[in-house]
Structure 1
């Protein structure tokens, strides 16, 4: 059973890109342990919706609650605290190419307030084991395949034990076999209790790994099944 309190809730939210309204009157909840796909054509508003959830875009109209933070009342100084509660996985890996895996992950921990070196080392080992790369600490990004880099990005997103993982086309740059492996990693994380909202163009994934599905279309977000 899912916890009745949503980790993410939008009520009559209007999603803007600059001054352009891209999605209107958006209302949906995601609860702990749910896995939800977000689909829609390019330009339909998926990325703008995700960016609003982690406060890269401001919620200008309506209500939004993400990991206990009210988006409509969010102040700039609160954004880092919100993002500690959300794991964000991008299509383009955004790893620092001049430092190894451990240093990439340590940078995030330091940036989010960790100071104890022993605890940082332990947490990095935990998340690397979680994504199946327990021996990758000293490898440089260029020494990793695309699938391995995406696993590191997922590990990075899990460092602060987020309530929800927000993934924007996480398999977009990967071939089908690797995409399936990455979905397996997401499913393991989800089964352990972390909610996941994943934007994707890859409808094969929806058939192989069925889940609740929201679609951005005609300026609205509609639920397809359920």
Structure 2
């Protein structure tokens, strides 16, 4: 049997005490790539936040990377997130630290030991995203596309089984967006599942994959019904 990195069954996705999506049932297999689309306010970000336990799953069943979401104790949330990579649109890099220091901060926070091992891991992920030469640069000295590559490198530090990306190309021009999509394809081909929220329908046409659509309080699945 193929292992699923996400399984939701009859889940209700909440945002500020309001149900934004109801009856959400879908699974994502290990190594799969899937888009998440829908209008602003339709529930995309709330669904992603539920998957990485920033919002509680109060109704329905769900597991992510083997962790059950209902009643997941706060002490277990960091262990769930170590199995995930999370890529935000607004980068959230520490502005007072170099690229390498940003990545070391995450390794220290997630319990890595040994200076040499940590430095090697930083070098490995920066090489993976094509930015090994930027290790000692400050984030503000990088272009938007380079900063997003650092964010992706940060997300890959703990070798996640699942990458959750919230509008990762939203602030980037088309050429840079293409380069980010090619990087995602390499990461996906190496075995990491990706769920990517986007407004960019040109990307969906150029790099076709399964599409989940948040619409009228429901989650529609391109593999189950026409969009």
Q: TM-score range by the shorter chain?
A: over 0.9
How far does residue 134 in structure 1 lie from its aligned partner after superposition?
Answer: 1.5
Q: What is the aligned counterpart of 1:30 among 28, 31, 34? A: 28
Query: Partner residue of 2:85?
Result: 87
Q: What is the aligned counterpart of 1:142 among 128, 133, 140? A: 140
SS at match of 2:133: coil
1:63-107 CA-to-partner distances (Å, cap 9, x unmatched) read: 111011000130001111100001000000000010000000000
1:25-50 CA-to-partner distances (Å, cap 9, x unmatched) read: 10100011100000000000000000
Structure 1 Cα separation of the partners of residues 223 and 176 of structure 2:
27
Q: Does 1:8 align with 2:6?
A: yes
Structure 2 Cα separation of the partners of residues 136 and 73 of structure 1:
41
Task: For 1:33-44, list aligned pairs within 5 A.
Answer: 33-44=31-42
How far does residue 177 in structure 1 lie from its aligned partner after superposition?
Answer: 0.4
Structure 1 Cα separation of the partners of residues 156 and 7 of structure 2:
21
Q: What is the aligned counterpart of 1:48 among 31, 46, 66? A: 46
SS at match of 2:134: coil
Q: What is the aligned counterpart of 1:190 among 188, 191, 195? A: 188
**Corresponding residue pairs, total:** 224
Q: What is the aligned counterpart of 1:207 among 184, 205, 208? A: 205
Task: For 1:125-140, list aligned pairs within 5 A.
Answer: 125-140=123-138
SS at match of 2:123: helix
Structure 1 Cα separation of the partners of residues 133 and 115 of structure 2:
19
How far does residue 225 in structure 1 lie from its aligned partner after superposition?
Answer: 3.8
Unaligned runs of 5+ in 2: none
TM-score if structure 1 supplies the norm length? Answer: 0.98
How far does residue 136 in structure 1 lie from its aligned partner after superposition?
Answer: 1.1
Unaligned runs of 5+ in 1: none
How far does residue 23 in structure 1 lie from its aligned partner after superposition?
Answer: 0.2
How far does residue 18 in structure 1 lie from its aligned partner after superposition?
Answer: 2.0
| CA RMSD between the two structures | 0.8
Q: What is the aligned counterpart of 2:66 among 61, 65, 68? A: 68
SS at match of 1:119: helix
How far does residue 224 in structure 1 lie from its aligned partner after superposition?
Answer: 1.9
Over 4 Å off, 4+ runs: none
Q: Does 1:217 align with 2:209?
A: no
How far does residue 5 in structure 1 lie from its aligned partner after superposition?
Answer: 1.3
Structure 1 Cα separation of the partners of residues 202 and 191 of structure 2:
24
Structure 2 Cα separation of the partners of residues 215 and 113 of structure 1:
37
